[in-house]
Amino acid sequence: MFEIGKTLINSFDNAEFDLPTKTENEIYDPVIGTAYAELIVLPNEKTAYSVKHTDQSNGIFRIILRYPIGESKDTIKTKADEIFSVYKLHSIVTDTENNNYAEIVKQNCQEGVRETAWHKLVLDLYYQTFTRR
Amino acid sequence: MSFSDDMKKICKKTGDDAGRVGRNIKIKLFSEISNNTTVKTGRLRGNWQTSTGTPKYGIIERYAKDGGVNSGKEVKREILDNVTAFGIDYFTNNLPYAAVEEERKGFVAKSIANINRSIKEAVEDVRDWKNTYK
């Protein structure tokens, strides 16, 4: 259930979005004036897909972009588009080593809000995954 | 095509009653959100409020982890009492920290990700009910 989280986070790092990232339980002190992305994977429970050998699950890969207040709102929106263009609908995020893959089935962007020194934009990538039991 | 058109299509295929299926889906979705909600004192879960027509804007004190009131059960009862078949139903939580918790834990987003399964289960429940009582 949690392997897919690693796969998604690794795929973000490998895509080279040129943003420092903060993941769960990782110590990262945001630097004032430097944009960063917080990555959270929210998996749902795993259920049986077939009697014999396949399980299914789904969840959300949540990317929280924080940009310094002074920066243009277009910069953060451009970055959001760049991320969405990598994680296209029905694209497959794979980890061939561990035989994991997730299919992106929905993209969602919440309205941007101001949060202390940051302008925050939350991107949600809904995924589904089928794994060998 | 609207949600109710989709519902009618599903019900036409399955021969089920649109209202019953629609209500069942809403009950499943709201219950799943409530169940996914983080419980520390029970206050956050207890503040899920169900209404029809207009959302609720207040905060209520419906929590006690070890006390007399089981917030989850109370929320479930309110869902069952208030959810309608064809009305616009709201499920709101007005605690200031609800949004922060949602961002970290995604109890609403995760339930929406699971909506296809909820629909499938709702249709199956109604079909079972019809098979049992017809």
Interface of B with A in 91-130 (CB under 8 A): 103-106, 109-110, 112-114, 117
Q: Report the chain B residue with the minimal C-alpha distance to residue A46.
A: B114
Q: Do A40 and B106 touch (CB under 8 A)?
A: yes
Residue A64 has pLDDT above 90, yes or no: yes
Instruction: Give B79-82 contacts, CB < 8 A, sequence gap 24+.
Output: B79/B27, B79/B30, B79/B31, B79/B34, B79/B50, B80/B27, B81/B50, B82/B50, B82/B51, B82/B52
- pTM comes to 0.82
- At residue A70 the predicted structure's pLDDT band, cuts being 50, 70 and 90, is confident
Q: Report the chain A residue with the minimal C-alpha distance to residue B109.
A: A60
Say which DSSP state B87 is in.
Answer: S
C-beta separation of B50 from B83 below 8 A: yes
Read off the pLDDT of each residue in A71-92 and give the average, rounded to a whole number.
92
Nearest CA to B17 among B132, B121, B123? Answer: B123
What distance in Å separates the CA atoms of residue B70 and residue A129, rounded to the nearest whole number?
35
What distance in Å separates the CA atoms of residue B130 and residue A37, rounded to the nearest whole number?
50
Radius of gyration of chain A (CA): 16
Q: What is the dihedral of CA A74, A34, A17, A95, to 10 degrees?
A: -130
The pLDDT profile of chain B, 134 residues, written as one tens digit per residue, is: 566 677 667 666 655 577 888 888 899 999 999 998 988 778 889 899 999 999 999 999 876 555 445 678 888 999 999 999 888 999 999 999 999 999 989 999 999 888 877 787 777 777 777 777 76
Give percent of chain A with pLDDT exceeding 70.
Answer: 99
Mutate which: A24, A42, A63, vs B, most B CBs within 10 A: A42
Q: Do B113 and A58 touch (CB under 8 A)?
A: yes
What distance in Å separates the CA atoms of residue B85 and residue B27, rounded to the nearest whole number?
10
Longest dimension (CA), chain A: 55
